[in-house]
């Protein structure tokens, strides 16, 4: 049998959830372009689409929003668990420990939408509670009439967020929610295929996302923008990096050989809110300079902006601390993991690949 290291190119499932065309720069969720969903639909509507295959009507959306809010309120027992975890434990491990403490009583096989809502809603509340505790600040409760993204910012910062920040974070949530059978999503499906409880599949996926080759935060892009400092220094700084053979962070992608559709959508959102957020305008202008330089210095290569560039611009603008970058990625990717777990459960067969033995024989 032919070995495919990393299972590259191996098809292991049929799916109706998403489609990626890297050559054409297309990302599809359930038949809809993801970038159009980010621009014209709420994150809650997109999650509902991923899970149920259709958009909710107004009554269903209201009920879904209500359920998300209700499940974001932590019990006193869970708050105590979050506080008792040693302060040097990283945030991704805190999330896994907190979810594990819930046990499988509420999340057993088979997975359901009710269980899915609970897991999606409680994760950002865990992150915010832990962050507030580490800062020596009181835990903030979610507000019923705020969106999922708005409540996340409220629970972290303790104040109602700026509308431009809410819009930007919602768009990022939508565009990061699902991206095919990546390492963490495949992990979630493998665990779900054993008929383990829903929380175990999500916790396993969190472990995969924690690895720097998969869930690495866009902090390097933010670091680059901070070092550039001003538009006056941008061309000189980036030209010197290219002269030294270094990369410009946030440009180029392994899958997308043209403009990353997620970056396109986030750019539009950032441009819309640039009047209210100077950092947005700075990021847009630096991108223009970078693309012109790349075309000049590397004319035979197609290097375009990737999603990490504008993710960094957004997370910086909404004043999210760097220790929350990867956990925030996890918050939104849970929606995609759950969509795949629900799909796996519909026609389940345990995922059990094989291997070639190349060791010695007696």
Catalytic sites, residue numbers: 253, 308
Q: What angle do CA 287, 179, 70 make, to 5 degrees?
A: 100
Q: Which of 150, 100, 152, 114 is nearest to 131 (CA)?
A: 152
Strands (E), 175-230: none
CA 133 – CA 155 distance, rounded (Å): 12
Sheet holding 32-33, edge to edge: 18-21, 26-29, 32-33
Residue indicated by tokens 């979810």: 99
Q: If you write DSSP's letter for every residue of 150-171 in order, what string do you get?
A: HHHHHHHHSSPPPHHHHHHHHH
Q: How many CB atoms lie within 10 A of CB 301?
A: 9
Q: Round to whole Å and give the CA distance between 67 and 72.
A: 9
Q: From start to end of the chain, where are the E strands?
A: 18-21, 26-29, 32-33
The answer to whether 315 touches 151, Cβ cutoff 8 Å, is: no
CA distance 68 to 145: 11
Q: Using alpha carbons, select from 30, 208, 214, 201 the residue that is nearest to residue 119.
A: 201
């Amino acid at each position: 049998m032919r070995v495919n290291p990393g299972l590259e190119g191996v098809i292991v499932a049929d799916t109706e959830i998403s489609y990626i065309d890297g050559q054409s720069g297309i990302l599809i969720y359930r038949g809809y372009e993801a970038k159009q969903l980010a621009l014209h639909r709420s994150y809650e509507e997109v999650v509902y689409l991923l899970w149920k295959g259709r958009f909710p009507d107004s009554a269903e959306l209201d009920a879904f929003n209500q359920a998300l809010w209700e499940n974001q309120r932590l019990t006193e027992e869970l708050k105590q668990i979050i506080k008792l975890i040693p302060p040097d434990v990283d945030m991704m491990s805190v999330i896994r420990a907190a979810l594990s403490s819930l046990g499988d009583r509420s999340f057993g096989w088979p997975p359901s939408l009710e269980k899915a809502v609970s897991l999606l809603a409680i994760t950002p509340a865990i992150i915010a509670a832990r962050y507030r505790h580490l800062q020596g600040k009181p835990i903030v409760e979610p507000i019923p009439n705020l969106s999922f993204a708005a409540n996340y910012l409220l629970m972290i910062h303790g104040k109602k967020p700026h509308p431009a920040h809410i819009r930007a974070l919602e768009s990022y949530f939508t565009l990061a929610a699902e991206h095919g059978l990546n390492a963490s999503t495949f992990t979630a499906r493998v665990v779900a295929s054993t008929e383990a409880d829903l929380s175990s599949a999500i916790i396993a996926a969190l472990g995969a996302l924690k690895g720097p080759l998969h869930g690495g935060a866009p902090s390097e892009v933010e670091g680059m923008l901070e070092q550039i400092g001003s538009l006056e220094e941008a061309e000189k700084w980036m030209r010197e990096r290219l002269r030294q053979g270094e990369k410009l962070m946030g440009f180029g992608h392994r899958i997308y050989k043209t403009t990353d559709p997620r970056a396109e959508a986030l750019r539009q959102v950032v441009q819309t809110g640039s009047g209210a957020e100077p950092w947005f305008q700075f990021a847009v202008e630096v991108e223009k300079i970078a693309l012109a330089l790349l075309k000049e210095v590397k004319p035979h290569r197609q290097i375009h902006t990737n999603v990490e560039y504008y993710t960094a611009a957004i997370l910086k603008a909404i004043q999210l601390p760097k220790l929350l970058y990867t956990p925030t990625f996890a918050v939104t990717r849970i929606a995609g993991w759950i969509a795949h777990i629900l799909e796996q459960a519909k026609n389940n067969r345990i995922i059990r690949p094989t291997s070639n033995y190349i060791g010695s024989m007696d």
